[in-house]
Amino acid sequence: AWPSEAQLRRDIRHFERQIARLASPTSPWEQGALRCYRVLVKQRRMILDAIRSAEPASVESA
């Protein structure tokens, strides 16, 4: 089961704030963190898209 759409949106907002804070990474750790956050945002967006495109189908099959 995937997290709710609201939870995903909160996650994306949170991760995007972190990305903004790390906009000019100075240490290798920050560069790594920035990459991780970008991947996490991308994953959350993909799940959101999947939820959105699956919604009509799940209603029909119910």
Supply the DSSP string of 15-30, one letter for each residue: HHHHHHHTSS--SHHH
Q: Which of 2, 23, 1, 58 minimizes the C-alpha distance to 45? A: 2
Q: Residue 57 pLDDT more than 60?
A: no
Comparing C-alpha atoms, which of 49, 61, 36 is closest to residue 9? 49
pTM: 0.74
Kindly report, residue by residue over 9-48, the tens digit of the pLDDT: 999 999 999 999 998 889 999 999 999 999 999 999 999 9
Confirm if 18 and 33 have CB atoms less than 8 A apart: yes
